Amino acid sequence: MTRAPGSVRARAAAGATAVVALALIAAGTAVLLVLRGNLQQQAGLRSEVAAREVAAQIATGTAYPKLDLPDGDDHPVVVTDEDGRVLAVGEDVRAVDGKRVTGGQQGGAEHAPPPDDDDGDDDDDATGLRPGEVDDDVRYLDGTADVDGTVGDYRFAVVGAKDSRGEKATVRAGSALAPERDAVGSVRDAMLIGLPLLLVVVAGVTWLVTRRALRPVEGIRAEMAAITASTDLSRRVPEPAARDEIARLARTTNETLAALEASVERQRRFVADASHELRSPIASLRTQLEVAVAHPELLDVPGAVADTVRLQRLAADLLLLARLDAGERPADARVDLAAMVREESSQWVGDRIPVRVGESASVEVAGSRSQLGRVLGNLLDNAQRHAASSVRVDVVRAGEWAVLRVEDDGPGVPEAERERIFERFVRLDDARARDDGGAGLGLAIARDVAVRHGGTLAVREGAVFELRLPVAG
């Protein structure tokens, strides 16, 4: 358990580092592509300026041997006619795209590589150039040039022009791509050096931030471990002041601990009360049996039977409560409440106070016939013990609810006690608490069964117990 927060920090740091790395790689790639494109565009513009300067000299009638050509190291230039013969070439320029061009002047035998496949008379006619004009269009080509024995990559601009005699010339001027590649390489190297350092910083910051954020979680874990070791459910985990997920986790944990403490306390009281209730009939039975052993003629058989019956009922009640606490779901059968009332009330004819059936609407509910019968039996038993002269049962329908009411003419339940009487082993101290040996489980069992059937059980005005159950679909 002690390494769990650390593993969370490690996973968070690794995840954040991976995300940042991917983002930086993507951003760096985009930057390099944009930078390379811009530098290539600038190289093309420089080569175009050089080509147009030479083309302008041709258009103004400058003889080809007298052209002022740029230095070959800066801009290798080759001027050709429409047949590809070299008319002029920059200083120290020996070859373009692997083909030698040195020594070629107007009328020379050397040929330069064609700038594209469309050079010819048809293209001249298409340009519509007149003598002394420079073509507005420019074409860009990537190629190589040998300048003074050094071969390099260049971005060439191709511009057409017509001299004063109407003869077309093509100027091909280049701009070196090596500076562009050096610049891109420098930026790439800087990124490769800076990326690992940045990722280390991201991982470290994420580790520290996650550690601080998870510190309250470690406090909660430590306190839960201490509670588990001490079994003291009254302790609570610390709640951070911040209103975040960890604070909500702490509050939920404390609420769970409170519910668990209450549940354990209920179980303790239940066990203590059950032990107390079981002790009386068992002690009485033991006493009677011991007396019978010594003096058989003094054995109180009816009393022993009564104690046995009381013990049997108490055991049955405890077993049913245990099943309900374990989450036992009622059967999904249809039960006619009116028929059940008639059947149950017929068993109370010979009792001290007869049970009278009032309204008896035929309405069905879904659930367990035996458990619902147990609820009615417990309510009738409670009414019998506290009624003065009458007990009445009614079954009515109220919308989507089936309502079963058990009413007696006893003193009623005080309003302040109308919830407490449904607690286990609770018996009131006033006149309504007259009892002949009940353990105080009947009403608690009745409410638990009602709740598990999706209904309610409550005390209304006076001594009216009202059971509400959803009508079967």
Are 306 and 341 part of one and the same domain?
A: no
Are 197 and 267 part of one and the same domain?
A: no
Residue 238 inside a domain? The answer is no
* Arithmetic mean of pLDDT, 126-146: 84
Q: Give how many domains the chain has, as a whole number.
A: 4
User: What are the pLDDT digits (tens) for 85-126?
Assistant: 889 998 888 888 888 886 544 333 344 555 554 444 444 444
Sorting pLDDT into bands at 50, 70 and 90, what band is 405?
A: very high
Are 197 and 265 part of one and the same domain?
A: no
Give me the DSSP letters along 191-237: HHHHHHHHHHHHHHHHHHHHHHHHHHHHHHHHHHHHHHHHT-TT---
Residue 395 inside a domain? The answer is yes
Are 82 and 174 part of one and the same domain?
A: yes
Flag the least confident range among 158-162, 326-330, 436-440: 436-440
Are 334 and 317 part of one and the same domain?
A: no
> Is the pLDDT score of 435 beyond 50?
no
For the chain, give the percent of residues with pLDDT over 90.
18
> Is the pLDDT score of 467 beyond 90?
yes
Report the pLDDT value the prediction gives residue 403, as an integer from 0 to 100: 94
User: What are the pLDDT digits (tens) for 333-373?
Assistant: 899 999 999 888 887 765 678 888 888 888 999 988 988 98
Domain closes at, from 179, 208, 235: 179
* Arithmetic mean of pLDDT, 163-189: 89
Sorting pLDDT into bands at 50, 70 and 90, what band is 402?
A: very high
CATH number at residue 387: 3.30.565.10
> Is the pLDDT score of 301 beyond 90?
no
Are 259 and 342 part of one and the same domain?
A: no
Residue 45 inside a domain? The answer is no
**Residue 464 and residue 409 in contact, taking contact as beta carbons nearer than 8 Å:** no
| 158 SS3 class | strand
Report the pLDDT value the prediction gives residue 1, as an integer from 0 to 100: 40
CATH number at residue 318: 1.10.287
Residue 52 inside a domain? The answer is no
Identify which has the larger pLDDT, 70 or 324.
Answer: 70
For the chain, give the percent of residues with pLDDT over 70.
90
The CA distance from 283 to 305, in Å, is 14
Are 335 and 454 part of one and the same domain?
A: yes
> Is the pLDDT score of 320 beyond 90?
no
Are 153 and 61 part of one and the same domain?
A: yes
How far CA 21 is from CA of 10, 35, 64, 66, 237, in Å, comes to 16, 20, 57, 58, 38
The CA distance from 432 to 452, in Å, is 27
Give me the DSSP letters along 239-254: --SS-SHHHHHHHHHH
> Is the pLDDT score of 23 beyond 80?
yes
* Arithmetic mean of pLDDT, 145-161: 90
> Is the pLDDT score of 278 beyond 80?
no
Identify which has the larger pLDDT, 283 or 21.
Answer: 21
Residue 306 inside a domain? The answer is yes
User: What are the pLDDT digits (tens) for 229-267?
Assistant: 887 888 888 888 777 788 888 888 888 888 888 878 877
Are 171 and 187 part of one and the same domain?
A: no
* Arithmetic mean of pLDDT, 121-137: 68
Q: Which of 422, 411, 423, 405 is nearest to 385 (CA)?
A: 411
The CA distance from 436 to 385, in Å, is 8
Are 78 and 150 part of one and the same domain?
A: yes
Residue 237 inside a domain? The answer is no
Report the pLDDT value the prediction gives residue 124, as an integer from 0 to 100: 43
> Is the pLDDT score of 220 beyond 80?
yes
* Arithmetic mean of pLDDT, 183-188: 90
Identify which has the larger pLDDT, 323 or 1.
Answer: 323
Identify the H or E element spanning 314. helix 301-325
Flag the least confident range among 170-179, 291-300, 367-376: 291-300
Q: Which of 359, 459, 465 is nearest to 416 (CA)?
A: 459
Are 144 and 211 part of one and the same domain?
A: no
- The mean predicted confidence, pLDDT, of the chain is 82
> Is the pLDDT score of 468 beyond 90?
yes
CATH number at residue 112: 3.30.450
> Is the pLDDT score of 2 beyond 50?
no
Are 156 and 281 part of one and the same domain?
A: no
* Arithmetic mean of pLDDT, 432-455: 75
Report the pLDDT value the prediction gives residue 386, as an integer from 0 to 100: 84
> Is the pLDDT score of 191 beyond 70?
yes
Residue 119 inside a domain? The answer is yes
Query: Which domain covers residue 342, as residue numbers?
Result: 329-470
Beta strand 401-408 with 391-398: parallel, antiparallel or unpaired?
Answer: antiparallel
Flag the least confident range among 206-220, 373-387, 417-431: 417-431
> Is the pLDDT score of 73 beyond 50?
yes
Residue 46 inside a domain? The answer is no
Identify which has the larger pLDDT, 273 or 2.
Answer: 273
